[in-house]
Amino acid sequence: MLHIAIMGFGTVGAGVAEVVRMNAASIAEKTGEEVNVKYILDVRDFPDSPYADKMIKDFAILESDPEVEVVVESIGGAKVALEFTRRALQAGKHVVTSNKELVATHGKELLSIAKARGVNYLFEASVGGGIPVLRPLFEDLSANQIEEIVGILNGTTNYILTRMVKGGVSFADALKEAQSKGYAEADPTADVEGIDAGRKICILSNLAWGKEVLPQSISMEGISAIHLQDVDIAAKAGYRIKLLGRALRLPDGRQTAYVAPHLVPENCPIAVVDDVFNGIIIRGNAVGDVMFYGRGAGDLPTASAVMSDVLDAAAHRQNRRDIGWNESAEITPAGEIPMKWYLRGSFSSEDAKTLCGEVEVLSSGAVITGALTEAQTKDAAEKLGAAAMLRVL
């Protein structure tokens, strides 16, 4: 029997306990052993919970119990969760998490501890919720040189943009809807300003190229400044505005990563990823484009990914997963990479051509430029008096 402990009994932790309960028979049949939730650690009381007899408040209990082989960290944040994860790994226990902040900011250290202790630190659920994307990236696509990763990595912002496109709702009103439905927090900053997606694209980049990219080293731009007028112009011209996380391997071996809203051509697969769903495209030099799609959050979808790691850790008790990133990546600022841009203002298309070269005219006063750096585009936008400036995929 595999004994596990859950740290944090919020949405994800409760979802893990429920998946173990409802799928106990099929898990045992597929893996050859039963899974038992021995402890649930939380500072709160849950007297009416069916798991009340498993509740503990002292981390040392699970830390010192030799029967507990896998610990699920679903506390969140990078304070208490960091301390308990360190201690669990040092105690020789495998740790599984959905905590993207912890993995993005402290993954290098925690993977190093796991390697030294001969255990696994796995985090499939930290990117894409229930979508299996990390394991395919480091396992199924390992024969490829990964060239680019781009995707919708945050369901909250995707829901807001979907409502703006399909409902003609302003950003402020769409955000209120998202909060009323439980898709957005009372403080939505991490979502709407691109921070959540930034942590996720760092994790994807780290796994793709084996070099550490910290969130503070990349640019993150959110959707709070997106105007309904630009959403409408883009849609009528065959584009959708999406918040994308993007990581690229450059020809000279350096890397870049960033988060920003983009105009995405409607024939691109991720253009039609709507509501709270996520869509991630990975481009390999052998396989071409591979797309992963599904629910990027939620208790049971995320718990599904967590449990896949729990079972993977158990299957690799003796022969641990050798994943990690040991050196820092040399990051080229995203603004230095020439790309196309959307500009909107009261300028003429002729003036835009003079400053931006060949342009695609979307409507009166709205164009897509040729490939320009961010500095070149800002200079052109200033001279044109542009009111909006967005990247184009």
pTM: 0.95
Residue 41, token pair as written in the block: 């650690």
- What lies within 8 Å, CB to CB, of 293 at 6+ separation is 131, 273, 277, 278, 279, 280
Q: Does residue 326 have a pLDDT over 90?
A: no
Q: Give bridge partners of residue 72 from the DSSP assignment.
A: 6, 96
Cα–Cα distances (Å) from 228 to 64, 164, 265, in that order, read: 56, 7, 18
Q: Could you give the CA distance from residue 27 to residue 37 in angstroms, rounded to a whole number? A: 13
Q: What pLDDT score was predicted for residue 324?
A: 87
> What are the structure tokens assigned to 355, written together?
């400053």
- The pLDDT score that the predictor gives to residue 52 is 95
Beta bridge partner(s), residue 258: 219, 246
- Rounded Cα distance, 300 and 297, in Å: 9
Q: What are phi and psi of 352, to 5 degrees?
A: -65, -40
* Helix (H) or strand (E) segment spanning residue 283: strand 277-284
Count of beta carbons in the 10 Å neighbourhood of residue 168: 12
Q: 266-310 pLDDT, tens per residue?
A: 999 999 999 999 999 999 999 999 999 998 888 899 999 999 999
Q: Work out the percent of the chain whose per-residue pLDDT is above 90.
A: 92
What residue ranges define each of the domains in the chain, with the CATH number in brackets? 2-133+300-327 (3.40.50.720), 136-295+330-334 (3.30.360.10), 338-392 (3.30.70)
Q: What is the C-alpha separation between 249 and 145, in angstroms, rounded?
A: 9
Q: Quick one: DSSP state of residue 123? A: -
Which residue in this structure is represented by tokens 């409802």? 22
pLDDT in tens, 166-182: 999 999 999 999 999 88
pLDDT at position 55 over 90: yes
Other residues' Cβ atoms within 10 Å of the Cβ of residue 32: 9
Active site residue 200: yes
Please pick, among 38, 93, 115, 200, the residue that the annotation labels catalytic: 200
